[in-house]
A and B are shown apart, each in its own frame.
Chain A
């Protein structure tokens, strides 16, 4: 991360923390913001956040490591989360998973080289009557089939270009 980028993010972190009176209850909203704008929460960001809330950095790391929507590794612009829970599994999740890997050229848990897509499994998305279901950032897609996967992916690749951060399009 460039020094100026870090400074800018740090300023945002401090501003948000102040809005929450530096109270710990503001920690997760700040983490969510950092995750959104920089697609991960770096060690430097964790230190800045800890400073803003006057807590130890390890406290921040403990929280980051707990939640599946927060990450220390840099994610793609679009995070594809395919539901692996039972109803979607029975509805044909495996074939969709296979085709997602083919279309993106990566395996689950990986990010494409161009930094566009991260492919992950997730637990129940609450779309069990319309499975297989997947989230792409905040958008929900239901009754996904191996045939529709390519269109969905292409849509994101084309529609948003390379400069959109996560959440902006929602």
Chain B
């Protein structure tokens, strides 16, 4: 596991107990305002401003509120949350306590994906340790009117449950099918109560921001994408692993850092992200340019990009929940199209139709899965069309 040498934000040193206790001395609005001033956006991938989410959940009416940690990290090529859950669990729980304090929730839930069941035991031990230190439970840090505890709920193997409303459906004992929004979970969430669902990395980042200040956090990154981000780097590079890098880093610079300079393309954002070809390596990784929840997959010069597209599309066919038509049938049709391309039997006219279908899926699918399922297909076809046609010529 390689990490960046410099400990910037998330990997910077912190005394968790001290940070949590001093943060709880702030008023709730002050705490949320600090997060707002930092410009932090959700680190799971969607990039919704964390402070706005917390403010909405705090303002929502309800006797019972929930804070949920989305630890259903399933995006292909993403594994930074696994590292955080393993090595920084105390910071995660402290971040959840802060969220509970900010929105007025007493109950926290970690939705841990089934594939990470081996982490559960240590995670339970961390929770128990924090209960022992009175950092969880009643009267946290001596505050009479503040209680908060966390329990773990195991997933059962479904990528779609990383979508927050599908996650809530799953918690409630249903099929993990996304809900219509609005209402958003901040007003009608788990068991109908106001609920804030945040990513593992978001909770940890908040702890550092509140301890060290919004200004310090904003000294990293760009104006619209503040701070640093964890990147899970895999594929054809010398040093795969988890890296903490400032937002706004160019793809070229990132590739130099991980030893992947000869890449012909980089998949930014996992299967639901975009495939960026070599000519565009000057583009930067930020919410305003190429956005990612952290997944960076490097493709070396010898990779067959059509095979990559097929792998991603098989993934979506398997993981589509099947609830809405554009996604359920669109993913299957795009995969068939890729098979036709592979056999050298796809006309350009049909390929254009497939691209048009992909664009329809982007606007008509119900949730983020279906809306982003065609992204890899579209970007790979657009950038590697000649490679695909040349390598699959049947006129021998």
B-contacting residues of A (Cβ < 8 Å)?
A: 23-29, 31-32, 53, 62-63, 66-70, 84-87, 89-90, 122-131, 135, 138-140, 170
Question: Given contacts A24-B172, A90-B235, are A126 and B78 in contact (CB under 8 A)?
Answer: yes
Docked CA distance A23–B77 (Å): 36
Docked CA distance A89–B73 (Å): 19
Main secondary structure of the interface of B (DSSP, over half): mixed
When the two chains form their complex, are residues B172 and A25 in contact, meaning their CB atoms are under 8 A apart?
A: yes
Count contacts on B: residues with CB < 8 A to the other chain.
Answer: 52
When the two chains form their complex, are residues B77 and A87 in contact, meaning their CB atoms are under 8 A apart?
A: yes
Across the interface, name the chain A residue whose C-beta is closest to B156: A67
Q: Which of B113-133 contact A (CB under 8 A)?
A: 113-118, 121
Interface flag for B186 (CB, 8 Å): no
A-contacting residues of B (Cβ < 8 Å)?
A: 1, 73-79, 81-82, 113-118, 121, 153-159, 170-176, 191, 232-236, 240-242, 267, 271, 297, 303, 308, 311-312, 314-315, 318-319, 321
A-side contacts of B77, CB under 8 Å: 85-87, 124, 128
Docked CA distance A36–B97 (Å): 32
Docked CA distance A62–B74 (Å): 22
13 additional A-B residue pairs with CB within 8 Å, beyond A66-B321, A124-B75: A24-B173, A25-B191, A66-B175, A87-B297, A90-B235, A123-B76, A124-B159, A127-B79, A128-B76, A128-B232, A129-B234, A131-B234, A140-B118
Across the interface, name the chain A residue whose C-beta is closest to B237: A129
Q: Which of B176, B297, B318, B321 contacts A123 (CB 8 A)?
A: B318
28 sample A-B contacts, Cβ–Cβ < 8 Å, listed by A number: A23-B173, A62-B175, A66-B175, A67-B158, A69-B114, A85-B77, A85-B271, A86-B235, A86-B271, A86-B297, A86-B308, A87-B297, A89-B311, A90-B303, A123-B159, A124-B75, A124-B78, A125-B115, A126-B73, A126-B113, A126-B115, A127-B79, A127-B82, A128-B232, A129-B240, A131-B234, A135-B115, A138-B117
User: In the assembled complex, how far is the CB of residue A140 from the closest CB belonging to chain B, in whole angstroms?
Assistant: 6
A-side contacts of B157, CB under 8 Å: 67-70, 122
